[in-house]
Amino acid sequence: MLNNCKLTILGLGTMGRALADGLLEAGAIQPSSLRATVRHDESAERLSADSTYPVSTDNIEAAREADVILLCVKPRSACKVVRELAEGGALEQGPLLLSICAGVTTAQLEEAAGCSLRVARAMPNTPCLVQKGMTVVSPGAHASPDDVKTALSIMEPLGRALSLDEEHMDAVTGLSASGPAFVYVIIDALAEGGVMVGLPRKTATELAAQMVLGASTMVLETGKHPAELKDQVTTPAGCTISALMALEDGKLRSVLARGVQEAARAAAALG
């Protein structure tokens, strides 16, 4: 429970909403401690009707009394929003600013605030929507170890969360934040393979998705290296080793690794 913490989410879009819903469902926060904003009046009206907490378009009013401001707008708007908060006196109570904006550094946000604001970054992913997220948190120059704990306690109800130095944030973005998109493509491709060898499409998709869930759980729960787990499936002269050779011919491993590298490079350019 985020003890009496007043939380304001600026940008109640896909991720902002996932974070709000996850925290409420986990009982980590009460609706009375939560406020949120969006950009457009129509979005505010639609979300207000559907939420147990207030949703407005007034960032300054919503943030003025917040203990934690969760910044979930698009990266290109992040510094502008923080500058407006500072100019409107909405940072005077000394909140923790927790930003999930890809590629925007804590130094950029501190500079936009124009004061020694406690800033931390968090990089979540969309599986936070089903409480299976992976989030990495990094402190800025003025954030304390307690601020990191607060940031982790906001993210933990949505899946796993850990802290790393900020220098790793673009790599984290390329791997665990962009990664769900890579895995959806992989699941779809595997299901297509199932269809090619005669399975109904819906069944093939279910088999592929549950198989990926099971394999991921094996890695996380056994702590074994993926290569060791792969060896358990690969009997000599069997069908799996034949398939693995075909995947190596297609350079599957380097294609996936290069995908992460490319996403990290693009993330670094966002800020």
Ligand X SMILES: NC(=O)c1ccc[n+]([C@@H]2O[C@H](COP(=O)([O-])OP(=O)(O)OC[C@H]3O[C@@H](n4cnc5c(N)ncnc54)[C@H](OP(=O)(O)O)[C@@H]3O)[C@@H](O)[C@H]2O)c1
Residues that bind ligand X (CB under 6 A): 10-16, 37-40, 43, 59, 72-75, 77, 81, 100-102, 123-126, 177
Min separation Cβ 202 and ligand X, Å: 26
CB of 59 to ligand X, least distance (A): 5
Give the nearer residue to ligand X in terms of CB position, either 186 or 241.
186
Nearer to ligand X, 13 or 194 (CB): 13
Q: Which is nearer to ligand X, 72 or 204 (CB)?
A: 72
Q: Which is nearer to ligand X, 75 or 204 (CB)?
A: 75
Q: Write down the least CB distance from residue 64 to ligand X, Å.
A: 15
Least distance between ligand X and beta carbon 264 (Å): 13
Measured from the CB atom, the residue of 187 and 204 that comes closer to ligand X is 187
User: Which position's Cβ is nearest ligand X?
Assistant: 13
Shortest distance, position 250 Cβ to ligand X, whole Å: 27
Q: Quote the CA–CA distance of 157 and 128 in Å, as a whole number.
A: 9
